[in-house]
Structure 1
Amino acid sequence: MGISRTLGLMLAVASALVIAPSAVAERLLKVGIVQRFGEADTDVLELVAPNGSLSLTFEQGGEAVSLQVNTAVLELAAQPLPEPQLFERLVLGDYATFETAEAGAREWEARGIDVEVAQPGRWQVWAQRDVYSTPLVRRQLLKNLRDRGYDLPFMISEVQQSVPQVVLAVGADRYLPEQLTVTGAGDRVRVRANAEDAYTYVGSLHLQPDAYGSFALVNRVSLEDYLRGVVPYEIAPGAPAAAIAAQAIVARTYAMRNLRRFAADDYELCATVHCQVYRGVRVARGQTDRAIASTSNLVLTYDSELVDALYSSTTGGITAPFSDIWDGDPRPYLRAVIDAPGQVWDLQQLPLSDEQTFRKFLSLQQGFNESGTSAFRWRRQSSLDELAGDLRRYLDRSGHPKANFARLKTLEIVERSPSGRILQLDALTDLGIAALRKNEVRSAFGPPRSTLFYLEPLTDSSGALSGYTFVGGGFGHGAGLSQYGSYNLARLGWSPERILAFYYPGTKIRPLDESVVLYGGD
C-alpha cells in the first residue's frame, strides 16, 4: 500500500485508531524547557503535581535525598567563591540562527581550530573550552587570528566573586540540591517560570548545569508525547486535517534531525522558536493528537536521510532556497517554489533578482495560497534614528567592530536572489559600511518581517532622508512549508503527501527506522 493511500486511510479512521508504540516513538528526547535559569538572581521556578505528588531526588553534601511533596519552588542564592574566578570564552562568531552558526563552525574547523556551538542568547561559535582551556592559550589564539586578519572574534571575560546556587524550598524547609530529578504522579509535572504561564509536562524533569554558569530544566520525554506539545502551538488546532498531519510529519522530522543543537549544554532541543515551540500537554487537543497518531513514526526524507524540515508562517508567495537565508551547503529540496496552487508567475522567465521585476511580483495579491492573510503583504516604516538604534544594538550583541557608530546615513540593497530574498544590505554609517547578509537583515532591524522586501525612502520637509518604508511579504525565513499556505492546499483537497511534496520537492515520506540517516552532515 502506498504512503499516500495509507495516510488517507489513517486520517479517515483516526478517531478509532490505536497504534502500538514503536521503539523510535518511545525514544526519549532531552528538551531544555527552561534555559539559563540563574542568569538573573530573581529567577524562580514553581513545580506542582497536577494530581497526587511530586517525587524529588537529589544529592546534598554527598548524601542522597528523596522527597514526596505536592509543590516545590526553586530559587537562587549567591554562593561566594573562596577566591575570584575567571569565567571566559573566546567567541569566534555570533549568529542569529543555528544553521548559520553550524556552517561557521565548519569553516573554523577547516582552519584547524576546535570549536563548539553554544546559545547564550544568540547562537555563537566558541573556541572549544576543553582545548583552549587557559587564559594564555585563548589570548594567543585571539592574537593569531587578529594577525591573520580576522577582526570579528572577540573575548568575553568576567571575574566572578560568587556563582548562582539553586535553593529548593519545600514549605519551610530549604535544600541545596545537586542534579535534581523531578517526576510526578502519572508522569505529569506543572512548571511555572518567573510567574509566567504554567505548562504541564509528561516524563521526567532534570535540573542540570549548562555552559554559561547557570542551569537548564530538561524534560526527558518520548518523541510522540513531545509532538503533542509542539503541533498545537505550531499550527492552529482548527486547521484542516491534512495540514495538521503534514505539520506533524514535519515536526517529527525536524526534531529527530536536530538533536545535536545543544550538545554544549548536554541536552538536545529547546522549547522556543529557536527550535520548535514546545509547551507540554496542557492544551493537547483531539484533532492534533489524532494527526500525530495517524502519522505515527512517519518522517520526510531525501536520499534516505531526514530532511532539514524548516518551515515558517508565511512565505509571501515564494519559498526561499536554503542558501538565500543561511550559510552552508544547499539543500536540494529547499528551493524556490511559487506558493500558489496554479500558475501565477513564471520564475524561470521572470527571476526576482531584478528590482523592478521584484516590485511587480510584490504588487500581486490574488491567486496565491496565502492571499488575504495578514502577513502575505505588509508595509512598515521607521525613522533613521530608530533604525540606527536597532542596528547599534545588533552590532553590539554580535561584537561587530563598527558597533559604536554615531550616525546611520543610508541603507542600500546591494544583492537580491532569484527568489527575491535580500542577500546583502549595506548600512552606511559614519564609521563606514556595515554589510548585512541574508537573515542578518531581519535580525538587525525592527520593521522587516522577512527578507522579502524593498525600501522606499522617506524625506522630511527639507527633502533630506529621514527614514524608510519597508514594503514586503511573508513572515519568517520562508524556507520549506508555509503553514498558512498548507491550509489553503488542504482546503483544496490536497493530501498530506502532496502538500509536503509541493514544499519539499524530491522528498519521500517513510517510516523512521534504522535505515534512515538522522543527520549525515552537510
Structure 2
Amino acid sequence: MGSKKSFLRYLLRQLVLVMLAFPLLAVGSSAEAAWQPELLVGLQKGAASVQLSSDSPLVIRDVASGKILAKKPARDSFSVTFSQGAFLVAGKKVMAGTAGIDFVVEDARQLAAQVSRIDGKAYRGAVRLLPGETGFTVINRVTTEEYLKGVVPEEMPPEWNMEAVKAQAIAARSFALSHRKRHSKDGYDLCATTHCQQYQGIRAERARSSEAIKATYGEVLTFQGRPIEALFHTDSGGMTENSEDVWGSRIPYLRSVKELHAKSYPWDKNISAEQFTAVLAKHGKTIGTLKSITLPPISFGKASAGRTSAGRAAQVRFAGTKGTAVVSGNDLRNWFGLKSTLFEMTYKGNVVMIHGYGWGHGLGLSQWGAKALADEKEYKYPAILAHYYQGTERKKLY
C-alpha cells in the first residue's frame, strides 16, 4: 500500500465514498441509537395550504443555506400557504430558496424522535415544503427505520408468522434504499403509494411489525455490494417470474422459483365480446367480431408458445372477422384490470371468460408464499429471502 500516510489517505477516501453513497444521520440517544440513512417521502403535490404541528419545538430552516428563518413552540398548530414566491407561516412571510423549507427539531440527532402532524395525520420525522409553479409539495423527512414502521404493516398483515414479517421488513428496507432518488425530479426519494411502497405514517403502525423491524434493524439484501431492488407482490399463483419476462431485462437475483402451492389465489373476470374487442380497438388492435382466442393451458416450469416458464401469459392471439391481433399478457392485465398475467381465457356465448391465479407482477417475494414457507416449512426469514432473491447477501448496513 506504501507509506502510512498514503494508507490513511486511502482509508479517508473510502470513508468519503461510503458517506456519499449513503448520506447518514445520527438518531436518538437510546442504547439502540445508530447511524442510519434518511429518506424524503413525497406525501402531496400541488398543495395550496397545510396545517402543521409537532410535539417538539421546531425551527424553520432554509434547506439550501441551512439558515434558521423562524421558530415554533411545541404543540403549536399553524397554517402554511404559498403565494407570490413566498411561504406564509401563520400569516407571516417566510422567504426561502427554491430548495424549500424544513420544519424540524433544532438538534438533527433527535430527528427519529420527532413527531409531526400534517393536516392532523401523524408522521415520524420532519416536514419539508418544496415550492412549485402551482402550490407546493409536502415531504416527510424521516429516518429509514421510522419510515418502515409506516410501511411494513401496510404491505403485510402484522399478525402473520413473524418470520414472514421479518422477511417483508428486509425486503421493504432494501427496496427503499435501492430506490433513493427515484423521484428526484420531484424533490424527494420515494412516494407514499404502491408505485414505491404504501406508507401511512404513525396511524399504520402495529406492534408486531415494529417488532420485526427492530429484530432486523439495518439488515438489507445486497448484490455486488449494493442494496437490491427487492420487489414483492401479494401472491405468485404458484411460481414467481423471471425479470426479463416482465420487464424485458434480466436481473440475476429476480429468478423464477416454485411455491409450495400451485394455482393459489384464484380469481375470475367475465367481459362481453363487444366490450372486449372495443378495448382492443382502442389500443390499436382492431379485429372486428371476435371468433377465437389462442392461449395454451397453464403449465408451471416449462415455457410454451404464448407462455413463460412460470406459466404466465406472454402473448395471446385473437382472431376476428377483420383480422388477427397478438397482445402481450402484461398489456391485457393493464387494459382489463386483471390481478395477474397467470390466467386462462375462453370464449363462449359471446363472453370472454378469464380465470386466473395470484395477484401482482410475480417478481421477487410472494407474500402469501413467504407465509406458507414460514407456517408449513418453518423457514426462518434468511431462508425465505434466499428462496426469492437468489444469489444475494444479507448484510447489516448500519
Corresponding residue for residue 195 of structure 2: 274
Higher relative contact order, structure no. (Cα contacts within 8 Å, ≥ 6 residues apart): 1
Corresponding residue for residue 20 of structure 1: 32
Change (3 A) 1:57 1:437: same
Corresponding residue for residue 489 of structure 1: 373
Equivalent AA in structure 1 for residue 343 of structure 2:
F
In the aligned structure 1, how far is the partner of 2:332 from the partner of 2:129? 36
Q: Are 2:314 and 1:423 equivalent residues in the alignment?
A: yes
Aligned length: 344
Q: Are 2:118 and 1:191 equivalent residues in the alignment?
A: yes
2:61–2:70 CA contact under 8 A, matched in 1: yes
In the aligned structure 2, how far is the partner of 1:412 from the partner of 1:73? 59
- Which residues in structure 2 correspond to 1:375-414 (within 5 Å)? 376-387=265-276, 395=283, 402=284, 409=290
Corresponding residue for residue 512 of structure 1: 397
Change (3 A) 1:433 1:238: same
Change (3 A) 1:470 1:205: same
Corresponding residue for residue 467 of structure 1: 351
In the aligned structure 2, how far is the partner of 1:470 from the partner of 1:262? 36
Where 2:127 maps in the other structure, the secondary structure is strand
Deviation at 1:237, TM superposition (A): 1.2
Where 1:498 maps in the other structure, the secondary structure is helix
Corresponding residue for residue 51 of structure 2: 46
Deviation at 1:307, TM superposition (A): 2.4
Where 1:255 maps in the other structure, the secondary structure is helix
Change (3 A) 1:452 1:20: same
Q: Could you list the per-position Cα deviations for residues 396-426 of structure 1 after superposition, in whole angstroms to 9, with x for gaps in the alignment? A: xxxxxx49x7978577658221211222346
Where 1:282 maps in the other structure, the secondary structure is helix
In the aligned structure 2, how far is the partner of 1:235 from the partner of 1:406? 42
- Which residues in structure 2 correspond to 1:237-256 (within 5 Å)? 237-256=158-177
- Which residues in structure 2 correspond to 1:54-73 (within 5 Å)? 55-56=59-60, 65-66=69-70, 68=72, 70-73=76-79
Q: Are 2:390 and 1:501 equivalent residues in the alignment?
A: no
1:30–1:267 CA contact under 8 A, matched in 2: yes
Structure 1: runs of 5 or more not aligned: 1-17, 80-164, 193-197, 341-366, 396-401, 460-465, 514-522
Structure 2: runs of 5 or more not aligned: 1-29, 106-110, 296-304
Deviation at 1:209, TM superposition (A): 4.2
Equivalent AA in structure 2 for residue 315 of structure 1:
S
Corresponding residue for residue 442 of structure 1: 333
Where 2:385 maps in the other structure, the secondary structure is helix
Corresponding residue for residue 203 of structure 1: 125
Change (3 A) 1:190 1:258: same
In the aligned structure 1, how far is the partner of 2:281 from the partner of 2:94? 41
In the aligned structure 2, how far is the partner of 1:203 from the partner of 1:180? 14
Q: Are 2:254 and 1:334 equivalent residues in the alignment?
A: yes
Change (3 A) 1:180 1:22: closer
Q: Could you list the per-position Cα deviations for residues 314-352 of structure 1 after superposition, in whole angstroms to 9, with x for gaps in the alignment? A: 111111111121132x12222221111xxxxxxxxxxxx
1:408–1:427 CA contact under 8 A, matched in 2: no
- Which residues in structure 2 correspond to 1:87-486 (within 5 Å)? 168=88, 170=90, 173=91, 175=93, 178=96, 179-183=100-104, 187-192=114-119, 199-209=121-131, 215-328=136-249, 330-340=250-260, 367-368=261-262, 371=264, 376-387=265-276, 395=283, 402=284, 409=290, 415-425=306-316, 436-446=327-337, 448-459=338-349, 466-486=350-370
Change (3 A) 1:32 1:486: same
Equivalent AA in structure 1 for residue 116 of structure 2:
V
Where 1:267 maps in the other structure, the secondary structure is coil
Deviation at 1:293, TM superposition (A): 1.4
Deviation at 1:37, TM superposition (A): 2.1
Corresponding residue for residue 33 of structure 1: 43
Deviation at 1:467, TM superposition (A): 3.4
Which range moves more in the overlay, 467-476 or 212-221?
212-221
Q: Could you list the per-position Cα deviations for residues 416-451 of structure 1 after superposition, in whole angstroms to 9, with x for gaps in the alignment? A: 2121122234678999877644533322112x1001
Corresponding residue for residue 347 of structure 1: none
Deviation at 1:503, TM superposition (A): 1.5
Where 1:309 maps in the other structure, the secondary structure is coil
Change (3 A) 1:209 1:476: farther
Where 1:416 maps in the other structure, the secondary structure is coil
Give RMSD over aligned pairs. 3.6
Superposition TM-score, scaled by structure 1 size: 0.58
Q: Percent identity?
A: 30
Superposition misfits of 4+ residues, deviation over 6 angstroms: 405-408, 427-434
Deviation at 1:498, TM superposition (A): 1.0
Corresponding residue for residue 360 of structure 1: none
In the aligned structure 2, how far is the partner of 1:486 from the partner of 1:437? 28
In the aligned structure 1, how far is the partner of 2:335 from the partner of 2:385? 32
